[in-house]
Amino acid sequence: MDERSRQLAEGLQSVRTRIDEACRVAGRDPRSVTLIVVTKTWPSSDIDILAGLGVGDVGENRVDELRRKTSDIPQTPLRWHFIGQIQTKKAGHVAAVADAVHSVDRLRLAESLQRAAQRHDRVLDVFIQVSLDQLGVDQTLDTARASPESPAVPHERGGADPSDLMPLADAVAASPNLRLVGVMCLPPQEMDADVAFARLQQVSLELQQSHPEARSISAGMSHDLESALSHGATHVRIGTAILGTRSTVR
């Protein structure tokens, strides 16, 4: 085993151990958790190594990089997750190669993905990205709905406002080439991770009242995966803890 393979194997084993332990503490089955290795900025050769180590799910957050890497290694049996913001005009590129999209946050994007997925005769798993910026420490989704006139809090990380979640979920669920699977968030930087993931879990439970199929929660990264798993995350998106400090695209 060469040095890079050894590094990736050690990082992967460390993260799997953390997931196992977090699930033990939470009383969960580790098999209920999907580990998505986020390979943004790292070369396709790393993905080949990871696939050989048993990784089945890979995440990217840039459209051009997703397209390049899926072209580089088309023979590798991986599920490709797109986790970044998507310009509507690039939805077709994502729908052509991704298996799951974690960042659907507006109706126009959902409509563009539906048209593109239909054109390519594909079905995409969709997570609705939720902005937690408007949910204060004592607020739930119902509270936010009850006060639609409250001033919006600007956010730069993407995500649907809580008051827009149900109409967007309804639209995704009604789209024949999109499969509504759950919700995703990037916690606001000023919000404690436990608070953020507890809010997301509450949003997920409320969404399931109307859409019981939307049981998945995409949350948790290298620094906070334990917190996310304690609040029901089913998909964790891990990069640095496995691949190391970010590189440049090669």
Q: Which band of pLDDT confidence, cut at 50, 70 and 90, is reported for residue 168?
A: very high
Of 101, 127, 159, 56, whose CA–CA distance to 92 is shortest?
101
Instruction: Look at residue 248 in the predicted model and tell me its pLDDT.
Output: 53
For range 52-60, the mean pLDDT: 97
Q: Would you identify the CATH topology of the domain 3-146+154-243?
A: TIM Barrel (3.20.20)
Give the pLDDT band (50/70/90) at residue 134: low
Q: pLDDT class for 75, splitting at 50, 70, 90?
A: confident
Give the model's pLDDT for residue 245: 87
Take residue 126 and report the two structure tokens written for it: 């969709």
Give which of 83, 106, 222 is closest to 169, Cα–Cα. Answer: 106
- Mean of per-residue pLDDT scores for the chain: 90
pTM for the full predicted model: 0.89
Instruction: Scan for tokens 């809010």, then name that residue.
Output: 199
Q: Return the SS3 of 29.
A: coil
Q: How far apart are CA 194 and CA 219, in angstroms?
A: 11
pLDDT tens-digit map of 207-245:
999 999 999 999 999 999 999 999 999 999 999 999 998
Task: Give domain limits for the chain.
Answer: 3-146+154-243
pLDDT of residue 247: 54
With b for 16 or more beta-carbon neighbours within 10 A and e for fewer, the 28-57 pattern comes to beeeebbbbbbbbbbbbebbebbbeeebeb
Give the count of beta carbons closer than 10 Å to the beta carbon of residue 95. Answer: 25
Average pLDDT over residues 70-82: 90
